[in-house]
């Protein structure tokens, strides 16, 4: 079933000329298909109750029900997974542009007097065609709803690309999530006209809200990580080009240069490089916190001093919570380049160490390349202790 679904997805993407490189099914853990009902659609007065009462609904989340569907978004289902967790969602630029072009609605009423909206046009406007493999990046978060009987994908910011993307949906469209890992997804929105084959494969019928998760039976994490790593490095190179363009197009006085460098580092470190580190882990390597919104991607050899190759190297990175990232960035903590033992600056008192959850006996496992990078960081740490 998994391969048949991908054939349908690629057929839609190539038929509408939205993407030039077919989706590789080996890159994903699984696929989740949600047939959208009138309850899922963001539209002004999307549902008008029977009688004289009209209602406008502000839909800020998607509900995902059923144990298998919920497991698609969480590794396990227990009391520990009830915390809110941030997720990254990629969108194809052309899919987004196409949906905006055909976003014209005609109201229709059912026999109860409720109003839904149907799309007027499906043609592919030529001005939406471009580099179809380009991605937009957006954020959302997921949490349990209704005492653990469903997962909610929340879109609190109406300006986020995924929020706008979701607002372009109509009745019976298919919202498809392709899962890289449980914090990173690729989303497609497929107009209902192109969904017949998809719904036949998944046995999805009627107008009800249907969730269908399908795992990749041949999923190989090593292969998937390699494919994801190639894609993420391409994003990182694009970030580097954009940063260099910005730096070359403005006058850099002393203060401006510092600001540009800081913003450039933040863009690269907390964008694609963070995704690259997430392929290995989803927790702070010091305290183990798994709140994804609080995790930062720290370059061991500083971004400003690193070559382009070193900036793209995941071995030159640590995933740290915001507190420990700040300490590491300012060389108040480091790790011994040979033993991996945590080293804490004398400038921090015992009380501060305890408050910052700095374990005295913590040891980090370092690969050969990490040791080389850490030696540079450790030397700066030691120079601050003199």
Note the pLDDT tens digit of each residue in 325-374: 999 999 999 999 999 999 999 999 989 998 998 877 889 999 999 999 99
Q: How confident is the model at residue 9 (pLDDT cuts 50, 70, 90)?
A: very high
pLDDT band at residue 81 using 50, 70 and 90 as cut-offs: low
- Both structure tokens of 67: 């144990």
Mean pLDDT score across all residues of the chain: 81
Is the predicted pLDDT of residue 39 greater than 80, yes or no? no
Q: Provide the pLDDT for residue 56.
A: 52
Q: In this predicted model, what pLDDT tens digit does every residue of 58-80 receive, in sequence order?
A: 567 888 888 888 889 988 777 65
Give the per-residue pLDDT at 213: 93
* pLDDT for 104 beyond 60: yes
How far from 228 is each of 4, 135, 140, CA to CA, in Å? 22, 13, 20
What does the pLDDT read at residue 171?
83
Give the chain's domains with CATH numbers: 2-215 (2.40.330), 221-385 (no CATH)
- Model pLDDT, residue 43: 58
What pLDDT, in 10s, does the model give residues 213-263? 999 999 888 888 888 888 887 777 776 666 666 555 555 554 555 555 566
* pLDDT computed for residue 46 by the predictor: 45
Q: How far apart are CA 323 and CA 287, in angstroms?
A: 10
Answer whether residue 185 shows pLDDT above 60. Answer: yes
110 against 335, higher pLDDT? 335
Give residue 45's pLDDT band: very low, low, confident or very high (50, 70, 90): very low
Show the 3-state SS of the chain: CHHHHHHHHHHHHHHCCCCCCCCCHHHCCEEEEEECCHHHCCCCCCECCCCCCCECCCCCEEEEECHHHHHHHCCCCCHHHCCCEEEEEEEEHHHHHHHHHCCCEEEEECCCCCEEEEECCCCCCHHHCCCCCCEEEEEEEEEEECCCCEEEEECCCCCCHHHHHHHCCCCCCEEEEEEEECCEEEEEEECHHHCHHHHHHHCCCCCCCEEEEEECCCCCHHHHHHHHHHHHHHHHHHHHHHHHHHHHHCCCCHHHHHHHHHHHHHHHHCCHHHHHHHCCCCCCCCCCCCCHHHEEEEECCCHHHCCHHHHCCHHHEEEEEHHHHHHHHCCCEEECCCCCEEEECCCCCHHHHHHCCCCCCCECCCCHHHHHHHHHHHHHHHHHHC
Mean per-residue pLDDT, 274-295:
86
Mean pLDDT of 163-177: 89
pLDDT, tens digit, 9 for 90 and up, residues 115-159:
777 888 766 655 555 566 788 888 888 888 766 788 888 887 778
Residue 269 in this model has a pLDDT that exceeds 60: no
The pLDDT of residue 250 is 53
**Residue 16: pLDDT over 70:** yes
φ, ψ at 147 (rounded to 5°): 50, 40
């Amino acid at each position: 079933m998994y391969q048949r679904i991908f054939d349908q997805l690629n057929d839609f993407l190539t038929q509408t000329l939205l993407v030039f490189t077919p989706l590789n099914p080996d890159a994903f853990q699984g696929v989740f298909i949600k047939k959208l009902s009138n309850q899922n659609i963001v539209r002004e007065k999307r549902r008008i109750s029977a009688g004289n009462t009209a209602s406008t609904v502000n839909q800020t989340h998607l509900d995902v029900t059923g144990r298998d569907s919920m497991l698609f978004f969480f590794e396990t289902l227990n009391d520990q997974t009830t915390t809110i967790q941030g997720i990254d969602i990629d969108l194809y630029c052309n899919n987004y542009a196409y949906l905006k072009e055909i976003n014209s609605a005609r109201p229709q009423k059912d026999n109860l007097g409720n109003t839904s909206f149907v799309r007027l046009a499906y043609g592919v406007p030529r001005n939406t065609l471009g580099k179809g493999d380009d991605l937009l990046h957006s954020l959302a978060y997921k949490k349990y709803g209704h005492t653990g009987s469903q997962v909610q994908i929340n879109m609190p910011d109406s300006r986020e690309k995924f929020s706008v993307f979701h607002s372009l949906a109509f009745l019976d469209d298919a919202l498809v999530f392709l899962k890289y890992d449980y914090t990173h997804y690729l989303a497609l929105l497929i107009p209902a006209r192109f969904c017949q084959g998809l719904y036949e494969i998944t046995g999805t019928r009627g107008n009800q809200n249907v969730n269908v998760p399908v795992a990749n039976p041949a999923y190989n994490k090593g292969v998937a990580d390699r494919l994801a790593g190639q894609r993420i490095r391409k994003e990182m190179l694009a970030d580097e080009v954009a940063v260099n363009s910005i730096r070359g197009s403005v006058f850099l006085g002393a203060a401006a240069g510092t600001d540009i460098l800081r913003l450039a580092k933040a863009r690269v470190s907390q964008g694609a490089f963070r995704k690259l580190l997430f392929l290995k882990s989803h927790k702070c390597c010091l305290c183990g916190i798994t709140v994804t919104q609080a995790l930062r991607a720290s370059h061991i050899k500083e971004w400003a001093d690193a070559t382009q190759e070193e900036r793209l190297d995941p071995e030159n990175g640590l995933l740290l919570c915001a507190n420990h990232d700040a300490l590491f960035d300012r060389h108040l903590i480091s790790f011994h380049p040979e033993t991996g033992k945590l080293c804490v600056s004398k400038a921090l008192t015992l009380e501060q160490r305890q408050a910052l959850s700095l374990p005295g006996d913590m040891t980090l496992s370092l690969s050969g390349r990490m040791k080389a990078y850490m030696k540079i960081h450790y030397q700066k740490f030691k120079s601050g202790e003199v």
